[in-house]
Amino acid sequence: MPMDFLRRIEEAQFPLEVTDPNDIRNVAVLVAAGLIEAVVPPESESPTTPAVVAKVTALGRAELGRLRDKRA
């Protein structure tokens, strides 16, 4: 799930290379939602081409905070 992936990378050191195909799809979804900034390889490229996450955006951090509040 994209939000689980966002939680996993919240404290990562950026830039972060992502090579797992499922995680690359999560990156694409999160970029489309404006929650992270990343470079996502076109689907026509080699499956070994990584996505590179530059950062979690302010909107992404706000969403993470909202999810934490919802759990409490």
Longest dimension (CA), the chain: 42
Average pLDDT estimate for 9-24: 95
- Tens-place pLDDT, residues 17-67: 999 999 999 999 999 999 999 999 987 667 778 999 999 999 999 999 999
For the entire predicted model, the pTM comes to 0.91
| Structure tokens belonging to residue 10 | 């919240």
